Structure 1
Amino acid sequence: MEKVNIEEKLTKFSDHWHPRIVGELNGQQVKLAKLKGEFIWHEHADEDELFLVVKGQLKIELRDKTIILNEGEFFIVPKGVEHKPVAEEEVHVMLFEPASTAHSGKERHELTKDKLDHI
């Protein structure tokens, strides 16, 4: 059992759209990621996904609206809802989602990560 320092963990990587697992609890994973640019439209059929902005501003595009998240704000994308994260500048986020959550849902793309690292 050790405490986790979010800022220290974020210094361990620099690539974008590749979440790292920093904790696990009750079948959920806590992940950190750096985002920049646009991800792909995707959905998670069976899992909700929480985006918490640690640094910067993140847009989560939904088919009917766009959610803008600033530092210290979070949004839960309900299961089955198609979404596309967009970061005009680099954004640091914490994600909370079930361990079974596929990175890009059923969509395959060059940004898709099948195996996530623990840091």
Structure 2
Amino acid sequence: MTFDAINFNEKLAKFNDHWSPRVIAEMNDYQFKLAKVEGAFIWHQHDDTDEVFIVINGTLNIEFRDGKVTLNAGEMYVVPKGVEHKPIANNECHIMLVEPRGVINTGESHTGENNTGESHTGENNTGESHTRESDTGQSRNKLTAKNDVWI
């Protein structure tokens, strides 16, 4: 066990890709992911889990088929499982997602930890290294991010 705090700004400085969440910590089977988002994502839903959006910097709109919610820095929203939604950020926005390990950002189903056909070796927030093996599933959407990428 280490006693180092996880600094969101330091982690966010390590990548530039939009709509590609990066794992910064795990708690039980849940992952805490940081993402930079800008523009519109796709309509999607997660059939098996709720999805938590926490805005760190900027403004995020989450559209639903029958309404929308606007989140500013310091605000969060829980999208219930099975609810179709479309996140939109008019300007770059930094968010945290909290979701079970293995959730695909576009709501697609898969059988492995990573839908890119790649393995990932990294370090978690305790300083322990870990490796996740992947399946060989194909991405069905160009916005499907590599899963389980640690920073």
TM-score interval, smaller chain:
over 0.9
Asked whether the equivalents of residues 17 and 35 of structure 1 are also in contact (C-alpha less than 8 Å), the reply is yes
Give the aligned partner of residue 17 of structure 2.
15
| CA–CA distance in structure 2, aligned partners of residues 88 and 102 of structure 1 | 23
The aligned amino acid for 1:111 is L
Give the aligned partner of residue 91 of structure 1.
93
Asked whether the equivalents of residues 18 and 116 of structure 1 are also in contact (C-alpha less than 8 Å), the reply is no
Asked whether the equivalents of residues 56 and 96 of structure 2 are also in contact (C-alpha less than 8 Å), the reply is yes
Query: How far is 1:100 from its partner?
Result: 2.8
| CA–CA distance in structure 1, aligned partners of residues 141 and 148 of structure 2 | 15
Query: How far is 1:115 from its partner?
Result: 2.6
More RCO (CA 8 Å, sep 6+):
1
Q: Which has more radius of gyration?
A: 2
- Give the total of aligned pairs: 119
Query: How far is 1:83 from its partner?
Result: 0.4
Query: How far is 1:109 from its partner?
Result: 1.4
TM-score of the two chains, using structure 2 as the length reference: 0.76
Superposed CA RMSD in Å reads: 1.2
Segment of structure 1 superposing worse, 101-110 or 89-98:
101-110
How is 1:1-119 mapped onto 2 (pairs within 5 angstroms)? 1=2, 2-106=4-108, 108-119=140-151
Q: Name structure 1 gaps, 5 residues minimum.
A: none
| CA–CA distance in structure 1, aligned partners of residues 73 and 26 of structure 2 | 23
